[in-house]
Amino acid sequence: MALSAGTRRTVACLLVGLGALLIVAAVMIPTYTISKLAKTPLDLEITTIATNQPGEDSLVLDSKSLTAPEGAAKIETNVPLISQRFLTVEEPSDATEMTVQAGQTLRRIDKQGDTGLLTATVDRVTIDRKTGEPVAKDPNGSIAVTVNKDMESIADPVQHTGLQYRFPIGTEKKTYPYFDVNARKSFDVNFIEESEINDMKVYHFQMSVPVTNMWDVIQAPTNKLSLPASKWGLEGDDPVTMTRFYTNTRDLWVEPQTGTVIKGGEQIHLYYARSGDHPDVTALKSHLVFDENTIESQISVAKENIDKLSLYGRIMPIVLGVLGVAAVVGGVFLGIRGGTGAGRRGPGRGRDDAPTEQIRIQKNL
């Protein structure tokens, strides 16, 4: 059924209006949605597990040998280690900021219960949900490494700087500051190369923590010990004071679109020494790397976020843009066609508007 000129003009206007609305939506959706997706979600829960690498040194100081009546400090070799970190979001958290808590343990799996626990840390930091960097508050975080008599962690206020548990969305091939929980300072993490892990593109970053005097970081009893020289493997029985030092090389493989850390590794070295440049007794030395289950889990998280970014940042804008342009073109074409037809027929008269025939009827008188 043919449409009248007035109806065509109405439909044309509706199509143009709808098309303009779709085009505006195509432009605005990525701008608005990506800014929302660029924020770290408040329901974040991440568990990562790292284990020592086979064939590489995995050394642990037997702490009981330090207090034994006889014999020097004993360093155990080929110790199977597992590092586990559980990350959650705590209060205070809101639309722009969030508090991240990471509980991390390092234990030897050849011993049961608390006897196998080597270190335990609870780290809290309030970060900007977009940049991932700590907020400008003092203090903006805390670190707990000890507990009270009720086995509750004792947290020390610690000012955090730099990135830590995630990289920004749109990670670049550049140097970022990165916070080290043990040294309680940030150091440069440098871009090394672009590579792939299980067919996913990643950026490899590396960070070197210089030799750090742990007594200067926190004056815990284990960070400075005075024992007979023989305990340290030295000659004589005169007391010798040793300080614990720490150094680390950290590798991070990051999915750049989402800033997800796909794989992480640490070549950690803790040792006692009279001088930082000359280790005397190793306390811990191992190369810990995310296991395969953790890597696959992180890849799944990254893919899910990549799909969201792709849907709202590319697919929907393209579809809406195409539909919008088609609607505008169709509306303009229909409007022009309707207007041309009306002009050809003349004002007030269409093709079927013939003059009314007058019929004369003679009345018989």
Name the pLDDT band for 312 (thresholds 50, 70, 90): low
Average pLDDT, the chain: 85
Name the pLDDT band for 307 (thresholds 50, 70, 90): confident
Q: What is the spatial distance between Cα 24 and Cα 183, in angstroms, rounded to a whole number?
A: 50
Tell me what the mean pLDDT of segment 33-57 comes to.
84
Query: Whole-model pTM above 0.75?
Result: yes
3-state SS assignment for residue 356: coil
* Strand-strand pairing, 153-157 and 141-147: antiparallel
Q: What is the spatial distance between Cα 41 and Cα 63, in angstroms, rounded to a whole number?
A: 41
Structure tokens given for 2: 């043919």
| Tens-place pLDDT, residues 180-210 | 999 999 999 999 999 999 999 999 999 999 9
What per-residue confidence (pLDDT) applies to 152? 72
- Above pLDDT 90, what percent of the chain? 58
Residue from 261, 252, 251 nearest 297 by CA: 261
pLDDT at 352 over 50: no
- Name the residue with higher pLDDT: 14 or 248: 248
Q: What is the spatial distance between Cα 106 and Cα 268, in angstroms, rounded to a whole number?
A: 12
SS3 content of the chain, % helix, strand, coil (to 5): 30, 40, 30
What per-residue confidence (pLDDT) applies to 323? 73
Q: What is the spatial distance between Cα 101 and Cα 88, in angstroms, rounded to a whole number?
A: 5
- Above pLDDT 70, what percent of the chain? 79
Least confident window among 23-32, 128-137, 276-285 = 23-32
Cβ neighbours for 317, distance < 8 A, ≥ 6 positions apart: 26, 27, 29, 30
Partnered with residue 189 across adjacent β-strands are 176, 207
